[in-house]
Amino acid sequence: MTENVWNYDETTARQQGIDLRGFKVEAVDGAIGKVDKHSDEAGSAWIVVDTGVWIFGKEVLLPAGTIARIDVDEERIHVNRTKEQIKNAPEFHREKHLDNPDYHDELAAYYLPGTPFGGPF
């Protein structure tokens, strides 16, 4: 069940081979930052968002299942979560959490449908 949150939904318009680094990321209630890194690995797809000053320069890891739409022409990614939901997600430290399966499980549980911050909206 946690795998679904780590895959792109077919409605996102994700095109293989497009580098998402630098794309702006929009929550349902406003901008949250830019993509710094991403993975398209099946069952483990995600984006790392540099939030800039929004949450004091921290990064957040968003599973691909939180992405509602990717606009390649505008270089913008729309996620189906609020800024508050993203801000309250388990804290992310790149060196410690990027490839950590326990952290991925914790994050998946946070964002899964049926949980307080799960979608879809």
Which CA distances in Å does 28 have to 17, 100, 106?
A: 26, 28, 23
Cα–Cα distance for residue pair 20/111, rounded to 1 Å: 21
CATH at residue 35: 2.30.30.240
In a domain, 70, yes or no: yes
pLDDT score for 1: 39
Structural domains in the chain (count):
1
Q: Which domain holds residue 45?
A: 4-111
pLDDT tens digit sequence for 33-64: 999 999 998 889 999 999 987 777 789 999 99
Report pTM. Answer: 0.89
Helix (H) or strand (E) holding 87: helix 83-87
Distance of alpha carbon 67 from alpha carbon 51, whole angstroms: 16
Q: How far apart are CA 5 and CA 81, in angstroms?
A: 13
In a domain, 72, yes or no: yes
pLDDT tens, 70-113? 999 999 999 999 999 999 899 999 999 988 999 999 999 999 86
Helix or strand holding residue 36 (H, E): strand 30-39
Q: Look at phi and psi of residue 114 and say left if phi exceeds 0, alpha if psi is from -120 to 50, else beta.
A: left
Is 117 inside a domain boundary?
no
- Whether 87 is covered by a domain: the verdict is yes
